[in-house]
Amino acid sequence: MSLQNFLNSLDELVSEARATLGSVETNDALEALRVKFVGAKNGALKSVQKLLGAVEVPDKPAAGKRFNEVRDAIQSLLDDATARIGGGAVVKSESLPDATLPGLRPRLGQLHPITQTIEHLKEIMGRLGFTATEGPEIEDTWHNFVALNIPEDHPARDPLDNFYLATAKAANSSPQDRDAMLLRSQTSTVQIRVMESQPLPLRIISLGRVYRPDAPDATHFPMFHQMEGLWVDRNVTMAQLKSVLRLFATSYLGGDVNVRFRPSFFPFTEPSVEVDYWWNGQWIEFGGAGMVDPNVFQHLNIDSEKWSGFAFGLGVERLCMRRYGITDIRDLYRSDVRFLRQFAQ
């Protein structure tokens, strides 16, 4: 087909569209014209487009350009006619919802239950005089182990029990080196950072993520949160530690909570205890605690004759689970909106 013949077909089409769409008066007639000109199957534009294939190759660019212009022109004629008649046809073709239906309620976001729990714990501990502070999630072995009196050969430093990082700094170092880096395995690191940088006395909590290569099950997850607490002053005692933890537990879990302290061992506290609550017919451990070990004070040049302190580290997920009756920690991290929506504030 010659270029001229093709252009003539386009001109005829656009003239006809101008004439008919310029005077159309009803939505039904407009709809019929829409089908006639731009209908997906047998519309006039479609038919002319098919002729494009028969145009000589060197003429194709000019033919294609003109075709696009005519297509746009017909579309604006249709839009003008639609606007003039009152939009009925547009409503139909763009399938807007019925404007008389009630509106859709926008779905509001909300804080994750663990974030809500963290805020709640901060508020309770704030009332007990503890100030919230933060520490980094990527730590060196000095803060995660050495200063906490965890010796080189201690199993807690095993590469299989920690997420050591392949940083440039650590490239030539082993997990035993002071500057090997890891994702912190406990928030007790913040005890050290705070005692390094703040004057005594101090009473702080720190809430944040910790990481351990634990196999996930109903009460374990490889990433979880801890609330660390530290109170250093003159004459801080184990009796105060137990009172604070009991007050905290009754405030967060309710007056009927049954808490027990079990003798235990942590390298950075002496004596040490593990703290459990009773739930669903069994004791669940929710934290460790004890009196700050004099060796820790010594690492930080704090006179343990003058100062004493207690520290605790509690599992935030386990507290949240007990409060809300969640029986599987993994539910908190499945990102299932149906589960999370139950915690709308």
Shortest separation between residue 224's beta carbon and ligand FA5, angstroms: 4
Q: Which is nearer to ligand FA5, 89 or 311 (CB)?
A: 311
Binding-site member from 288, 293, 297, 332 for ligand FA5 (CB under 6 A): 288
> Does the footprint of ligand FA5 cover residue 226 (CB under 6 A)?
yes
Contact in structure between 248 and 240 (CB atoms under 8 Å): no
Contact in structure between 203 and 228 (CB atoms under 8 Å): no
> Does the footprint of ligand FA5 cover residue 118 (CB under 6 A)?
no
> Does the footprint of ligand FA5 cover residue 212 (CB under 6 A)?
yes
> Does the footprint of ligand FA5 cover residue 269 (CB under 6 A)?
yes
Binding-site member from 13, 145, 315, 321 for ligand FA5 (CB under 6 A): 315
Shortest separation between residue 230's beta carbon and ligand FA5, angstroms: 8
In the region spanning residues 22 to 41, those forming contacts with ligand FA5, defined by CB under 6 A, are none
Shortest separation between residue 254's beta carbon and ligand FA5, angstroms: 18
Instruction: Assign 3-class secondary structure to the chain.
Output: CCHHHHHHHHHHHHHHHHHHHHHCCCHHHHHHHHHHHHCCCCCHHHHHHHHHCCCCHHHHHHHHHHHHHHHHHHHHHHHHHHHHHCCHHHHHHCCCCCCCCCCCCCCCCCCCHHHHHHHHHHHHHHHCCCEECCCCCEEEHHHHCHHHCCCCCCHHHCHHHCEECCCCCCCCCCCCCCCCEEECCCCHHHHHHHHHHCCCCEEEEEEEEEECCCCCCCCCCCEEEEEEEEEEECCCCHHHHHHHHHHHHHHHHCCCCCEEEEEEEECCEEEEEEEEEEECCEEEEEEEEEEECHHHHHHCCCCCCCCEEEEEEEEHHHHHHHHHCCCCHHHHHCCCHHHHHHHCC
> Does the footprint of ligand FA5 cover residue 241 (CB under 6 A)?
no
Mark 164-193 with x for binding to ligand FA5 (rule: CB under 6 A) and - for no binding.
----------------------x-x-----
> Does the footprint of ligand FA5 cover residue 113 (CB under 6 A)?
no
Shortest separation between residue 191's beta carbon and ligand FA5, angstroms: 7
Number of residues located near ligand FA5, criterion CB under 6 A: 24
Binding-site member from 318, 320, 321, 343 for ligand FA5 (CB under 6 A): 318
Q: Which is nearer to ligand FA5, 177 or 285 (CB)?
A: 285
Q: Which is nearer to ligand FA5, 74 or 244 (CB)?
A: 244
> Does the footprint of ligand FA5 cover residue 289 (CB under 6 A)?
yes
Shortest separation between residue 287's beta carbon and ligand FA5, angstroms: 5
Question: Which chain residues interact with ligand FA5 by CB under 6 A?
Answer: 186, 188, 212, 214, 220-221, 224, 226, 266, 269, 272, 285-290, 311-313, 315, 317-318, 329
